[in-house]
Structure 1
């Protein structure tokens, strides 16, 4: 029987075509508003995507950018803000937007999968991806949709043709990738450097939520500063960098010496991320879990006001 999560994952390629159309439509409107220092706010998976997007923005514009947990937001006078939230109902993000509106009055953009949310009421503008959210608790579709949207929004014009090939790349991968090849490993580690470090974190979080195992997500170079001590023959390393990245390739040489297996394909990181979703689902079913009912989780984290004060 096909699970709802599997249907969500298989539906990612047509979703990405919708993201392309929506972002290319909004890009001329939003880009003039997004300049200078930029803070990207999120929680959980959205914070991981914010980490990647901050590096992409700095690379494209030369302006400073920082990903911030919405719960730890501190005033950055003169900075513009982008909040990322599947539902727009997350308490920490709403509270951060309230503080911004009350004290800074700087531009705020909300990237969200649900319209008419409390966060939208506080934002200056909304980047709607109402077709992106999955029906279940665990995020898959919204992760890749928001990542592609931000890559397109920040990209230089000459990079747009390549980004428009990503839906077809993902579609091909979903037809060919076999998650069973990684089922034998007890220990999973996700690595990435530069803007891909955020993807390593979101991949680890997805596997943890879905399959109730404790994976690791690290910056590729930082993995050599301690965590590699746990690598052995029971470890599979997923690297979001590519073999043409000579810096990461040098680290992978050290990783292989531990006996760990390395998955290090020459493909776009977005493609690898969708493969992680399939692996997480496979791992959950392998362990006899119901991926539709992750423990202790809900679609939106809504906290009492006194917790936020």
Structure 2
């Protein structure tokens, strides 16, 4: 008798695997390639990896390690920037826009690839490779690879993060927000947590095909709050700016203020997206219109 897989079982298992995986990531030797003290560094990626690039850039510069910028792989800064190093993040090692960006930068700066799969095209373009093979995923929707890269970066930048695997496990066991009564999901963050907010909202759109937005926390009152109401769930990923939670509650929305480390909050937001997908009768293991890697047939300049 054939057993039908439970919808979302694969993505959910990868989310739940993160506490144990993070312990292994903290033993990884690739951190120095991300830190590069004193260098000017550009972090790039596409989709989820672009949001990781954003967070890493803010974290690195805030740690005093040097000028740190970020960009989408398809939208490199115009003109020369004299970067000492470009860190390209690509789970599959095959993302076309990232490969094109690295090809364009080759020879002008040191290129570092952060990937989950060895032997992929990105290795042929990189001077250094950080391969987090244990963090690879079968799911299309990324969960444990981006959090592992962020954890590795935080450790490399000098943060004390050794407690986070256990903290993540405890949070997954005890903290499960229920999305059933909401139709509008908003994620807010400041500093490096803005990248987390963007990623949390993307998980809702990818896994559950639902209405999700993300903003810098203090910018929410500058327009976006106009669509918030009783069916809105507003999640703050990081410290809550004074008065913001009260202002959001005043329009009838439900507010979640952070209980855990922001990276742990992101893991819980990932699971909420999968729970929402289940409530909507969707399978996040087979997200609509998505593939594991975006591989284009021809360079952008040719496509027009």
Q: Give deviations 1:188-245, integer Å, cap 9, x for gaps.
A: 10000011001000000011000001200110011111101111111111101235xx
**1:210: which partner in 2?**
207
> Match of 1:81, SS?
strand
**1:257: which partner in 2?**
250
Q: Distance in 2 between matches of 1:57 and 1:33?
A: 9
**2:103: which partner in 1?**
98
**2:274: which partner in 1?**
281
| Counterpart mapping for 1:207-246 below 5 A | 207-243=204-240
Q: Distance in 2 between matches of 1:34 and 1:92?
A: 27
Query: Contact 1:242–1:266 (CA<8 Å) still a contact in 2?
Result: no
Q: 1:171 to 1:308 in 2, by over 3 A?
A: farther
**Unaligned stretches of 5+ in structure 2?**
1-5
Q: Distance in 1 between matches of 2:253 and 2:92?
A: 38
Shift of 1:149: 1.1
TM-score by length of 1: 0.91
Shift of 1:33: 4.2
**1:294: which partner in 2?**
287
Shift of 1:117: 1.1
Query: Contact 1:45–1:143 (CA<8 Å) still a contact in 2?
Result: yes
1:52 is the counterpart of 2:52:
no
Q: 1:271 to 1:306 in 2, by over 3 A?
A: closer
Query: Contact 1:40–1:82 (CA<8 Å) still a contact in 2?
Result: yes
Task: Please provide the CA RMSD for this pair.
Answer: 1.6
1:130 is the counterpart of 2:127:
no
Q: Distance in 2 between matches of 1:34 and 1:284?
A: 42
> Match of 2:92, SS?
coil
**2:26: which partner in 1?**
20
Query: Contact 1:40–1:83 (CA<8 Å) still a contact in 2?
Result: yes
Work out which of the residue numbers 271, 284, 287 in structure 1 matches 2:264: 271
Shift of 1:178: 2.0
1:192 is the counterpart of 2:185:
no
| Counterpart mapping for 1:27-38 below 5 A | 27=31, 29-30=32-33, 33=36, 35-38=38-41
> Match of 1:228, SS?
helix
> Match of 2:170, SS?
helix
Q: Distance in 2 between matches of 1:36 and 1:9?
A: 34
> Match of 2:211, SS?
coil
Query: Contact 1:191–1:239 (CA<8 Å) still a contact in 2?
Result: yes
Q: 1:31 to 1:55 in 2, by over 3 A?
A: closer
**2:93: which partner in 1?**
88
Query: Contact 1:95–1:308 (CA<8 Å) still a contact in 2?
Result: no
Q: 1:227 to 1:266 in 2, by over 3 A?
A: same
**Unaligned stretches of 5+ in structure 1?**
none
Q: Distance in 1 between matches of 2:135 and 2:236?
A: 26
Query: Contact 1:34–1:80 (CA<8 Å) still a contact in 2?
Result: no
**2:81: which partner in 1?**
76
Report the more deviating stretch, 259-268 or 42-51.
259-268
**1:170: which partner in 2?**
168
Query: Contact 1:234–1:260 (CA<8 Å) still a contact in 2?
Result: yes
Q: Distance in 2 between matches of 1:81 and 1:306?
A: 21
Which is helix-richer, 1 or 2?
1
Work out which of the residue numbers 121, 129, 132 in structure 2 matches 1:118: 121
